[in-house]
Chains A and B, each alone.
Chain A
Amino acid sequence: MSSIETAPIAGPGINRVDLARVLLARQLRLVAKRTVFGVVLPIVIPVILFVLYTFVFHTIFKTGIPRYAVYLFAGLLPWTYLSQTLGRSVTSISNEAELVRRARFPYAYLTLACTGAGLVFLLVTLLGFVIVLAATGHLYASLLPFLVLPVVALYLFVSGVSLALALIDVHNRDLRQLLSNIITIWFFAVPVVYTQSTLSRHLGVLVNDDPVSFIVGEFREVLYWGHLASPGHTAIMMTICGGFFLVCLLVFLRAERGLAKDV
């Protein structure tokens, strides 16, 4: 048969780089399917929230923070990535039952593709923000390379939480129902719309030790304050986020062989 002669050669196993790229592209495509705005919407959502929060907290409640628009958006960027991505990745295994039962492959890739797709949207929005800052003369261009660390920390932390949530969701769907409420409560415990010192007065340790507060703080150092965070602060952030990701990944890897039975 002619098809046998023209068939490409299959390798002895799954190429993991190809798998990661295909799953990531698949996530990005799925966001755009059956939509008018396609991938534009996830990029624009932080802008919509920005307009809303600026009106509420700056115009109505008079926060008194100088250059509030820049302050707010620098915090909203990482926060929106977290909230949007967790909302999607909680079902990243449960909704892929067919794939999980079809073949044996590292199922963590499904969740990491979800968080990776969110990262693409974050980077595009960040690029737009940087352009706006440059156009308005508020950009500290020489500090931009130092954003890499908080972005990596954010990806690791969100991926770790996502792996844990996706694993729990396979066995128990309560969390799926509660997640949006938990994220809303968490939002008000992170200094996104107001300052760290305002929050610390009321919530203390809860805010100071939250990895997301660390990450938001580092985003603001570069984009708002125009100076670098202390090396100690950055080291703590990277250690917490990297360590958390590793722990969640190890737990996931231990549990993933049993997923096909329950998914």
Chain B
Amino acid sequence: MEDPRVSCHDLWLGYRVKSARGLPLRGQRSWALRELNLSVAPGELVGVVGGNGSGKTTLLRTVVGVLRPSKGRVTVRGKVGGLVELRPDADRDLSVRERMVMSGVLMGFRRRDARALERLVEEFGELDGPTLSAPVYTLSTGMLLRLEMALLLHAACDVLAIDELLMAADEEFRGRCLDRIGALCSEGSSAVLSSHDPSLLSGCDRVLRLEAGALVELEPPPSASPGRGQWPDDIPTDSAVGVLPDPKS
């Protein structure tokens, strides 16, 4: 049996509790992850579901290496790439092209490949030249997601960690991303996707539920799975979630 790509052993991660003024309260800690054990095999596509604040993002940030466990061990074999933070207000004054180079370098691309990255973003992310020249703050979250996903899904990562940000994508682009993730896993990469919507994860090999930072494994995936790497056609888009009733009706 091959060594797992991701291995979390007795993982605990705590944040210092802060006062209303943002100063840490001495000796107080809130646990975002508790005694978590997880193993992701090469080629495996794992989904993580859970409500808001259940620890999904913290888990993915720990896998990516941004957060250091308070206790326990995380081992990642190979190159890890993630999309766990996406805020249009960051780098807001830079052009999208400038941000593209920045993100590309963080994902292991070379600065000299900027032109090729641009073609990649135009083809996979469908962002055109004028969009790439515009300031970042003029982009919606969905457009920014297209930029980052186009880079991430071609960055030759052995492990992908993608937070529920895919909800910001339209149906067509999300389908393209999920297809690409499935193809990468077929080639031996591993992926951990998180969502608070189980239907988004129905194409995963395994879906795990996080509750208050503790992991509960679910087998099989929560909705009738159309098959490994096959995604349902009726995943709700961001705009369709929580639609308000028409005030006229």
A residues near B (Cβ < 8 Å) are: 1-4, 6-15, 18-19, 21-23, 26, 29-30, 33-34, 96-105, 171-173, 257-258, 260-262
Contact among B89, B93, B109 for A8, CB-based, below 8 A: B109
**Can you name 10 A-B pairs with beta carbons within 8 Å?**
A3-B119, A8-B116, A10-B156, A15-B108, A19-B105, A22-B101, A29-B94, A33-B93, A98-B91, A102-B106
Q: Are A100 and B156 in contact (CB under 8 A)?
A: no
- 5 smallest beta-carbon distances between A and B, as pairs: A98-B90, A3-B123, A8-B113, A104-B65, A33-B93
> Within 8 Å of chain A (Cβ to Cβ): is B124?
yes
> Within 8 Å of chain A (Cβ to Cβ): is B25?
no
Give the total of B residues in contact with A, Cβ under 8 Å.
46
Most buried by A among B22, B61, B105: B105
Q: In this complex, what residue of A is CB-closest to B68?
A: A257
Contact among A7, A100, A104, A262 for B154, CB-based, below 8 A: A7
Residues of B within 8 Å of A3, CB to CB, are: 119-120, 123-124, 150, 154
- Shortest Cβ gap from B148 to chain A (Å): 9
Residues of A within 8 Å of B84, CB to CB, are: 101-102
Q: Are B111 and A101 in contact (CB under 8 A)?
A: no
Residues of A within 8 Å of B94, CB to CB, are: 26, 29-30, 33
> Within 8 Å of chain A (Cβ to Cβ): is B23?
yes
Residues of B within 8 Å of A11, CB to CB, are: 108-110
Residues of B within 8 Å of A33, CB to CB, are: 93-94, 135
- With A101-B66, A101-B84, A101-B85 as known contacts, state yes or no: A7 contacts B116, CB within 8 Å: yes
Complex CA–CA separation, A127 to B103 (angstroms): 34
B55-99: CB near A (< 8 Å → 1, else 0) gives 000000100111110000000000100101101011101100010
Q: Are A99 and B90 in contact (CB under 8 A)?
A: yes
Q: Are B123 and A98 in contact (CB under 8 A)?
A: no
Q: Are A22 and B105 in contact (CB under 8 A)?
A: yes
Residues of A within 8 Å of B157, CB to CB, are: 10
Contact among B101, B111, B120 for A6, CB-based, below 8 A: B120
Q: Are B105 and A15 in contact (CB under 8 A)?
A: yes
Q: Are B120 and A260 in contact (CB under 8 A)?
A: no
> Within 8 Å of chain A (Cβ to Cβ): is B155?
yes
Complex CA–CA separation, A19 to B89 (angstroms): 21
Q: Are A10 and B108 in contact (CB under 8 A)?
A: yes
Residues of A within 8 Å of B180, CB to CB, are: 1
